[in-house]
Structure 1
Amino acid sequence: MAIHSSQKGRYWRWLQYGGGLCILLLLLTVKVGWVPFPMLERLEWQAYDLKVRTTLSEQADTSLAIIDIDERSLYEIGQWPWPRATVAELVETLFTEYDAGLLGIDVVFAEPETALWKQHWEKLARDYPQLSVLPPPIDGDEQLANTLANHPVVLGYYFQASRQLGDPTSVGQLPIPASVSESEPLLFPAPERYTANLAILQQNALGAGFFDNPRVDDDGVFRRVPMLQRWEGELYPNLPLAMLLVMLGQPTITPLIGEGADALSPGFMQLEALDVGGFEIPVDGRGAALVPWYGPRGHFDYISAVDVLEGRLEPDALAGKTLILGASAPGLMDLRSTPVGAVYPGPEINLSLLAGMLHQSIKAQPPWVLGFELVSLTALGLFMILLLPRLNAPLLLVVSGALLATAVGGNLWAWHRGFVLPIAGLLMLLVIQMLWHLAMNFLRETQQKRWVAERFGQYVPAELVEEMVDSGESFGLDGEERELTVLFSDVRGFTAFSESIPPSELTEVMNRLLTPLTGAIHQYNGTIDKYMGDAIMAFWGAPLHDDAHAEHALEGAFAMLDALGAINAEFTAEGKPALAMGVGLNTGLMSVGNMGSSFRMAYTVMGDNVNLGSRLEGLTKTYGVSVIVSDTTAEQAANWCYRRLDKVRVKGRSTPLWILEPLGRRDALSEEKREWHDAFEQALEHYQMADFVAAERAFQALDSEDPPTKMYLARIEHFKAEPPPESWDGVWTHTEK
C-alpha cells in the first residue's frame, strides 16, 4: 500500500502546531502565576537593566549635588562617626558660607554622643573652683540641634522589615507622618521596628525620611524603592520624598490605583502644591517607584565634606542647591548594587529619585500591563504557531527576526514614552517558538528528503529532488490527473549510423548521445520517463508542480537540439556522420504516477495527450522540421513565435488540431524573419480558403528549399488536378503514426 507524503506532512504539521501551542500555554500559566518560573523574572530584570544602561541621560542636573563623606574626608577629619560638633559645623558652613538651598542627611544619629570631654570639664571644675562660675560648654547633640533649628535640613533614618531575636525595640523618634489621603490605599510595606534620630535632633529638623529599601529584588539589585512605609497606622516618606514635601510646603499625598484595577495594580501618588502645581509619582501596587537612573556613578556632582569644612570651594559653588549628605567610602557600607553599577553609593540613589520626582521622569508600569502582556503573548504565539510551520528554515529565521525586531522596537518606543512594559516573556516566546519550529522543520525536511529521494531519485536528477524537498509540496505515487507537457524525441538515421561503427563502440556512442540530451532536459527541470533506444520520452509539471511547464519543455527541446549540434561537431571530427532529431511536444491532461505491476513499477505518464505527443514527433519527419508542438502547447508558451504548419487529423484521433513549428522567442526574431513568417501565414491562409491560385503564388514567393513550402506546392498541384469537395475544411488526415 502506497504511503502519501501528504499524510506524513500533515502529521509533522500537526505535531508542530501542538508543540507550539503547548509552549504558549505553558508561558501563559507562568505569567499569571500558576506555574513558578524564577528564570523568567530574572530575564525580565536583566532586560530592564539593559534598557536602563542603553538609555542613560547625558545631562546632569547642576542644582543637585552630594556632600560626600569619602575616604579623603575620613583621612583628614578622622574616622566616622565624627563628633556632632563637626557635623554641626559642616551643616552651618553649607548654609552660611555657601548658601545651600536644602540638605538631606543620609545617615542617622540614633545614639547620644559620648561626652568624655564633659566629664573631664566637671572634674576640672571640682579641682579648680574658679571654673565653676562659667557655664559648661554645649555638648555636640545640642550644638547640632541648634544648627538644625536654624536651617532647612531633612534627616534620615531606617525601618527594619522584621525584628530579629535580640534586637532592641525601636530607637529614636520618628518624624511627623506624611499627610496622606488614603481613599484608595496601596499596600505599603509595614516594618516591625525602626532606628531613628535622637528626639532633640528630630524635633529641630524640618522633617525626616527613611533610606532603607525593603523592595530590593531577589538578585540583590536596587531597581525600585518604596515611597512610603506604614508604622502604627501612619505613613512615613522616604528621604527623597520627604525632601520634596519640604520643598513643596508639605502638601497632601493622594495614592491612587489604576481605574478598574485591584489593589495590587500599578498606580501613582499625587502631590498638589499651591505654588508649583501637581506632581505625580508612578508607583506599583505596593507603593514603590522605579529609580530613574540618569547615569553611572558620579553622574551628579560629588563634593568632599572636608573641602566644605576647609573652605576650599568657590563661594557660589553650592548656592541654592539641593544637597544630600552621605557616604561613598567603602568602609561605611552605604554602597548598593544597581542596574548602572555593581557598587553604587546610596546617596546618589536617593538623589536620582529626587531628580526623577522634580523632573517628572519616573517611568510607570500602567495598570493594564499584565493584560497587555497576556494579549500580546497570545496574539504573537498564535501567529507564530499558524505561520512558522509553513516556512522553510531561512524564511523562518527572517520572519522570526522581524518579529523580534518589532517586539523590541515597540518595547523601546514605550520606554521612551515613559512606560515600562515587560519584554522577557515575548522574547522567550519568540526564541523558543523559533527553535521549536526550526527543529521540527529540520526533522520534517530530513524525513521528507529521505522519502522523496527513495521514491523519485530514479526518475529525476538529484538537484530536482532537492528542489522538491525545498518546495514543501506533498508528492504521492498514486496516479493523479494533472496538466503536463510531454516530449518525445527520436534521432533520425541512427540505424544507418550504428551500422557504420563497430558494435563495441555502440554503447559508448549511445552514452555520448543520451547524456547531453538528458542534461538538456534536466537543465529545465524535466523528468525523464524512459529511454527507447535512441528515443527519449520526458515530461514537465510532475512530480514538482511547474506553472510554466510548456515554456520549460520548449526551452528543453531547443537545448536538446543545441546539444545535438555539439555532439555532431565531435562526430564529424571523428569521421562519423552527423545526426538529425525530431521533437514533438503536447500539453494537456494526463495521468501521472507510479504505474506497472507488482514486479516492476515506473513513475510515468499515460493518456490520449501522451499519445498525441508521440504522433507529433513522428510528423517532424513528414514536414521536414525539427520541432512540432500542438496548439495547446503554443497557447501556454505564448512568448514564442510559431508558424502554423498544418491543420491535421493524426492516426487515432478524429478531432483535428493545428500543429505548429516554434521559430524562436518573439523578442529575438529579426525583422527579416518576421516578414518571412507573415508571408508564410498569408500563403497558408489562402490555402485554407481553397484559393489555390493565390496560395501557389504566395508559396512560390517564399524560400523554395523550405520543406513545408515545397510540401504545400506539391499539394496545390494535386488539388489543381483533383479539387477537394466544397465541404473541404482544410484538414489533412495522416493515416500513419
Structure 2
Amino acid sequence: MIAKHLKSILPWQYIGSLCLVVVVVGEVAGFWSLRLMDRLEWLSYDARVQATLIGDEDPSIVLIDLDERSLNEIGQWPWPRHQVAELTQILFDEYGISILGFDIVFAEPEGNLLAQQWGQLQERYPDLPPSPDVESGDAVLARTLMDYPVVMGYYFQSRAGESDPPSTGSLPAPLQVDADQEIVEALPWPRPERFTGNLTELQYAAMGGGFFDNPFVDADGVFRRVPVLQYWEGGLYANLPTAMIYTLFGQPPVSLQVAKGGGVLQLEAIDIGGFEIPVDARGGALVPWYGPRGHFTYISAADILHRRIDPQALEGALAIFGASAPGLMDLRSTPVASVYPGPEINASMLAGILHQSYKAEPPYSLAAALLILSTVGILVTLVFPRLNAVAIVVVSTALIAAHSGLNFWAWQQDWVLPFASGVLLLLVLSLWHLTMNFWRESRQKSWVTERFGQYVPPELVDEMVHTPESFGLEGEQRELSVLFSDVRGFTSFSEGIAPDELTNVMNRLLTPITEAIHQHRGTIDKYMGDAVMAFWGAPLADGDHARHSLEGAFAMLQALEEINKEFTAEGMKALAMGIGINSGSMNVGNMGSEFRMAYTVMGDNVNLGSRLEGLTKAYGVDIIVSETTAAAVPDWACRRIDRVKVKGRTAPISIFEPIGPADSLSTETRQWLQQHDLAMEAYSAQRFDQAHDIFTATLAEHPNDSIARLYLQRIEHYQSSPPGPEWDGVWTHTEK
C-alpha cells in the first residue's frame, strides 16, 4: 500500500506531534517556562474576567479618595497630621463608619511645625522667650487613632539591595494563627527582606495594620493575584483588606487549611472568623474583580472635611483611605483596566472576603490539566495522521469547543483552570498535522505521478492521490481484466516506410490507441512494437474492470479506424487489429530486478489474454473475450465462438466475440445472434446437418461472417468423419 511506502514519513509526524505535546505539558508542569504560553494564559484569564465581571455594587465599602480636587482644595500631600486626624474623627463621629484602613504609610515624623518656626525666629531675635508647648501633629494623630478602629498601611520589600536603607518604622503585631509553628515555617510564604512601616507611635495607637505591596505581580506588570499573608521573623502578617476584617472581627485566630500529600504540605485556604479565602500554595489569592475603575463608591476627602456628604451615606461603611490622583503614583495595571487605583484593588479584595466571591485554582488543577493535556495530546497524535484536512479541522474545532465549554463551566463554579495551554496544544497539533498532511500528500502526489503517470491517465492519477489506501506497488492478487492487442500486417505496412519516418508513424498509431485505453480507466502495461498490453482494476481498484476493458477495446478499434483514414489518404495501407481480453485473478505489482522495475501483471490469466489475441486471426474477428469476461458484463451481447484449449493450458474455455450493449442492438442483429446460437447448439449436439443448414443461411445473409464459414468447413469434415460419442466439441489450438 502507498501508506507503507510512505512509512518513512509517518514516524516524523508522530515524533513531531509528541514533541509538541511534551513542550506544552512540560511548560504547564513547570519544567520550563515559555514566555508566550504565560502571556496567552494571562490574556485568556483577563478575557474571562472581563466577560464575567460580578457587577454588583456594595454600598458598605467606600473609598475616601485623595483625588485631584482634594489636593486643589486642601493642599498638596502630605497633609498636616492634625488634618488627617480631623478627617478620621469626622468619618467615625459624624458619618459613623465601622472601620478605616489607610492605604497610605506614615513613615516619617511630621514634627512640631510651630516649634520649628519659633526656633527660626529665635535665630533672628535672640531675646524671644522659649517656644510655647504645642502638641505635634504625630501626637495628635496618634491620640485620635487610639479612639477608633483604624488599620494602618505599610509595605514589605521582597528584595533589598545594598543601597537600600534598613527597615524603618514599626509593624503591627503578627496574626494569631491557629497552627503549629512548624507548619507555618514550612509553608512557602513570601519572605520579604525589609519593610517600611508607620511611625511607632502611630502604629501602636492603631488597632492593626496591613501591607499593600504585591510581590505576586505577573511579568507583564498586571495585578491578578495578591498575597493574603507574608512571613516576617516568625510571624504572619495580613494584607490591608484582610487585616481590616481581622480587626473588625476582634482579631480571631486565623486558621490555615493545609493538605498533606506525598510528604508535601499544600496550603489551600485561609480562614478568618469563618470567612474563607482560597489561596495557592504561597498564600496568593486571585483578586475578585467586581467591575471597571470607579465601580465602588468614591468620596472625595475634601468633601468629608467640608462635610458636604449626607451623614447617612456612610453609616456602618468599611472605608479605605487612599489616593487616585495620578501624581501620587498609586495606580496599577489590572485585567479590567490598564490604569486602576490601588485602593480599589483593596476594596475588591475586601468585598471578596465579605461576599465569599473568590475564584481559585483547585489543588488538583495542575494534575488534572497535565492528565487532560497528555491524554488529548496522545490521542490526537495517534488519530490525526489518519484523518484528512477537513476531518482534522472539524475534530480540532469540536475539541476546542469542548475544552472551552468545560473551562467556562468550571469558571462559573469559581474554579480557575488552565485554558490557553489546551487551546494552544490543539491548535499547534492541528497545524502540525495539517502541514504534515499537506507535505505527505504533496510527496504522495509526486510519487504517484512519477510511478503511474506513464501507465494511467492524469485524471486517474489525481483520483489515486485522494484514495491512497486502494493501491500500491507490492505484489498482490486481484481480480483484473487484461487486454492484448496486435496490429495485423504491420511488418508489410512498415516495409514501405523510411526508417526515419517509422518512429513518427508509430507515435501516430499508438497515441490514439493509448488515449482510448486511458479514457476508459485502463493502465498501460507495455508497448511491444506495434502491440499493446493493458489492464483494468489496478493500480486503482475498479469493480467494473471487465466492462471498462470492453469499452476500451471498442474505442481502440474506433481510434484505429480514424488513423486509417489518415494513412490511406497519405497513400499507406489500412491496418487491422486483433484484441484479446481475459478477466480473472492476477498478480499485480512492481516487478523486476535491482536494475529495473516495472508495474505489471502476471499469472495464468494474463497468458490466456495473450492467447485470445492470437486466436483473433484464426477466427477472423477483431475482439475475442474469455467466458469470465463475458459473464462479468451480462448486459452486453456476446456471440459464443467456440470452446477451445489454448497452448499452455489443459482446461478448455469458451470464447466469445463481444457485439455491444444488448439494449443498443438492432432487430436484425438480434435475429442474427439467435440464429447463431441455434447453429452452435446443433453443432455441439452433433446435429451437423441442422447446423450446416443454419450456418449456410447465416452466411447467405452475412457473407462476411467468418465464424459461419469456419464452422461450415468443420461440419463438412465431421460429416465425412464423425467425431464419435466421446467428442466434447472442444477445439485444440497448438499455436500461440
What range describes the TM-score normalised by the shorter chain of this pair?
0.7 to 0.9
Residue 57 (structure 2) pairs with residue 62 (structure 1):
yes
Partner of 1:290: 286
In the TM superposition, what is the alpha-carbon distance from 1:306 to its structure 2 partner? 3.3
The match for 1:48 is 42
Q: What aligned pairs does 1:331-730 form with structure 2 within 5 A after superposition?
A: 331-387=327-383, 410-422=406-418, 456-461=452-457, 480-488=475-483, 490=485, 511=507, 514-523=510-519, 525-532=521-528, 535-542=531-538, 544=539, 546-548=540-542, 550-552=543-545, 554-555=547-548, 557-558=550-551, 561=554, 565=558, 582=579, 584-590=581-587, 592-595=589-592, 602-617=598-613, 630=626, 641-642=635-636, 645-646=639-640, 648-652=643-647, 653-657=649-653, 687=681
Q: CA offset at residue 104 of structure 1?
A: 3.0
Match of 2:72 in 1: 75
Aligned-pair distance for 1:142?
A: 5.5
Residue identity matched to 1:157? Y
1:159 aligns with 2:156: yes
Measured after TM superposition, the shift of residue 530 of structure 1 is 2.0
Q: What's the counterpart of residue 172 of structure 1?
A: 170
Q: 1:612 and 1:472 mapped to 2: Cα distance?
A: 30
Matched to 1:610, the amino acid is: V
Q: Could you tell me which residue of structure 1 aligns to residue 192 of structure 2?
A: 191
Higher alpha-carbon deviation: 135-144 or 521-530: 135-144
1:327 equivalent to 2:323? Answer yes
| Residues 611/328 of structure 1: CA separation in 2 closer, same or farther (3 Å cut) | same
Q: Secondary structure at the match of 2:188?
A: coil
1:174 shift after superposition: 0.7
The aligned residue for residue 229 of structure 1 is 230
The structure-2 alpha-carbon separation of the partners of 1:469 and 1:259, relative to structure 1 and needing over 3 Å to count, comes to farther
* Residue 606 of structure 1: how far off its partner (Å): 2.5
Secondary structure of 1:270's counterpart equals strand
**Counterpart-to-counterpart distance in 1, 2:317 and 2:6:** 72
Q: How does 1:136-147 map to 2 (within 5 A)?
A: 140-141=137-138, 144=141
Who is 2:216 aligned against?
215
Structure 1 contact 266–365 (Cα < 8 Å) conserved = no
Q: Quick one: structure 1 residues 308 and 59, their matched pair in 2 at CA, closer, same or farther if it must change by over 3 Å?
A: farther
Q: Which amino acid aligns with 2:341?
A: P
Cα gap change, 1:87/1:520 in structure 2, threshold over 3 Å: closer, same or farther? farther
Do the aligned partners of 1:457 and 1:465 also contact (CA within 8 Å) in 2? yes
Corresponding residue of 1:127: none
TM-score, length of structure 1 as denominator length: 0.74
AA partner of residue 357 (structure 1): I
Report the alpha carbon displacement of residue 217 of structure 1 after superposing the two structures with TM: 3.4
- Report the residue type matching 1:172 in the other structure: S
How many Å separate the matches in 1 of 2:22 and 2:389? 24
CA contact (8 A) 2:96 2:314 kept: yes
Query: Once superposed, what is the RMSD of the aligned Cα atoms?
Result: 5.6
Which residue does the alignment assign to 2:126? none
Change in CA separation of 1:355 and 1:573 when aligned onto 2, cut-off 3 Å: farther
Query: What SS does the corresponding residue of 2:261 show, helix, strand or coil?
Result: coil
The 1-side partners of 2:655 and 2:562 are apart by 30
Q: Is the 8 A contact 1:616 1:628 kept in 2?
A: yes
Q: Give the drift of 1:632.
A: 5.1
Deviates more, 1:416-425 or 1:724-733: 724-733
Deviations along 1:644-685, one digit per CA (max 9) or x if unpaired, are 65484441333345667889999xx69999xx89x979x899
Q: Secondary structure at the match of 1:236?
A: strand
Mapped to 2, the partners of 1:574 and 1:180 lie a distance apart of 111
Q: How far off is 1:211 after superposition?
A: 0.9
Contact 2:81 2:110 in 1 (8 A): yes
3-state DSSP of counterpart to 2:226: strand
- Alpha carbons of 1:592 and 1:201: their partners in 2 closer, same or farther (altered >3 Å)? closer
Match of 2:244 in 1: 243
Question: Could you tell me how far apart the structure 1 residues matched to 2:65 and 2:109 are?
Answer: 23
Equivalent residues of 1:172, 1:197 under 8 A apart: yes
Matched positions, count: 703
The change in CA–CA distance for 1:729 and 1:421 in structure 2 (over 3 A counts) is farther
TM-score (norm. length: structure 2): 0.74
Q: Which amino acid aligns with 1:47?
A: E
Partner Cα separation in structure 2 for residue 310 and residue 581 of structure 1: 118
Amino acid at match of 1:306: A
Deviation at 1:347, TM superposition (A): 1.5
SS in 1 for 2:607: helix
Instruction: Provide closer, same or farther for how the CA distance between residues 82 and 609 of structure 1 changes in structure 2, counting only shifts above 3 A.
Output: same
CA gap 1:480/1:422 in 2 versus in 1, 3 angstroms: same
Give, in angstroms, the shift of residue 227 of structure 1.
Answer: 0.9
Once the two structures are TM-superposed, the CA of residue 193 in structure 1 deviates from its matched residue by 3.7
Seq. identity, %:
47
In 2 relative to 1, CA 495–686 (structure 1 residues): closer, same or farther, beyond 3 Å?
A: closer
SS of 1:379's equivalent? helix
- Closer/same/farther in 2, CA of residues 627 and 228 from structure 1, 3 Å limit: farther
CA offset at residue 390 of structure 1? 5.4
Q: Is the 8 A contact 1:336 1:346 kept in 2?
A: yes
Q: Distance in 2 between matches of 1:626 and 1:310?
A: 118
Name the aligned partner's letter for residue 551 of structure 1: D
Matching residue's letter, 2:73? E
Instruction: Name the amino acid aligned to 1:270.
Output: D
How far does residue 157 in structure 1 lie from its aligned partner after superposition? 2.0
Partner of 2:83 in structure 1? Answer: 86
- Bigger shift: residues 250-259 or 312-321: 312-321
Contact 1:12–1:444 at 8 Å: present in 2 too?
yes
Deviation at 1:52, TM superposition (A): 1.9
Larger Rg: 2
Deviations 1:348-394 (A, max 9, x none): 22222233334433332232334334434443444455445556777
Q: How far apart, in 2, do the equivalents of 1:321 and 1:692 lie?
A: 124
- Distance (whole Å) between structure 1 residues aligned to residue 239 and residue 493 of structure 2: 105
Give the secondary structure class of the aligned counterpart of 1:73. helix
Alpha-carbon separation, structure 1, partners of 2:288 and 2:339: 17
Q: Whole-Å Cα distance in 2 between the matches of residues 52 and 65 of structure 1? A: 25
Distance 2:303 2:629 in 1: 97
Residues 93, 309 of structure 1: 8 Å contact kept: yes
**Structure 2: gaps (5+ residues):** 122-128
Tell me, what secondary structure is at the counterpart of 1:172?
A: coil
CA distance in 1 between partners of 2:703 and 2:330 (Å)? 105
CA distance in 2, matches of 1:497, 1:348: 106
Whether contact under 8 Å (1:174, 1:197) holds in the other structure is no
> What is the match of residue 128 of structure 1?
none
